[in-house]
Copies of this chain bind each other. A is one copy, B any other.
Amino acid sequence: MARTQGSHSDITGPRVREAALSLFARHGYASVSMRKIAAEVGVQAGALYNYTPDKQTLLFELMRAHMEELLAAWDAAAPPPEAGGQAALEAFTRFHIRFNTRRADAVFVSYMELRNLDPENFSIIEGLRRDYETRLEAILSRGVAEGRFAVTEPRIAAMALIAMLTGVNTWFRERGRLSLGQVEALYWDMVRRAVANQG
């Protein structure tokens, strides 16, 4: 059955979000005009407003989707509690590197464009970020309770480790010298030692 001429609601929406994410990551939210997004999609600027009420909401929804997918993906990948803190920490380390390197644009935008969120949108994204940090904090606390980890400030250690792991995105390239598996192993080695109870 032929579609109404010029009607592409089922595919234009995703393409708008993809174009916006890519352009925001490369040039920054404030530098990217609605016209540039439209040009990337292949429509006129006015057509974008069928898919977002305004530019701010477009940014916010990209960030919210990313953070919620991150949380859902970890909750689906996390080992069961009986596996222990050490196994959970290794799983978290490898998950974080794998998930974030595959979504470099979304990670970048979700961190760099926090300044450009309206206050209420900022609060929501910050809450999701805290939720993610809390997942790692709980793993560290569990390892301490088990006597496997020596961590005096689990919240701060969680933030420190996440910062270290996210830093992979600044240099890792898919076709580089090291495979993703090798990178995971290198970072897991540092993470493990950084929190291990040696004595």
Interface residues of A (CB under 8 A from B): 26-31, 112, 115-116, 152-153, 156-157, 159-164, 166-168, 170-171, 178, 183, 186-187, 190-191, 193-196, 198
Q: A27-B115, A159-B170 are in contact. List 14 more A-B contacts (CB 8 A).
A: A30-B30, A112-B112, A156-B171, A156-B183, A156-B186, A159-B167, A160-B164, A162-B167, A163-B163, A163-B164, A190-B194, A191-B194, A193-B195, A193-B196
Q: How many copies, total?
A: 2
Chain B's nearest CB lies how many Å from the CB of A38? 19
- Majority secondary structure of chain A interface residues (helix, strand, loop or mixed): helix
Give the CA-CA distance A178 to B152 in the complex, in Å. 13
Among residues of B, the one whose C-beta sits closest to the C-beta of A129 is B170
Task: State whether A198 touches B190 (Cβ < 8 A).
Answer: no
Contact among B26, B152, B162, B163 for A115, CB-based, below 8 A:
B26
Chain B's nearest CB lies how many Å from the CB of A194? 4
Contact among B29, B153, B166, B171 for A186, CB-based, below 8 A:
B153
Task: State whether A190 touches B115 (Cβ < 8 A).
Answer: no
Among residues of B, the one whose C-beta sits closest to the C-beta of A166 is B163
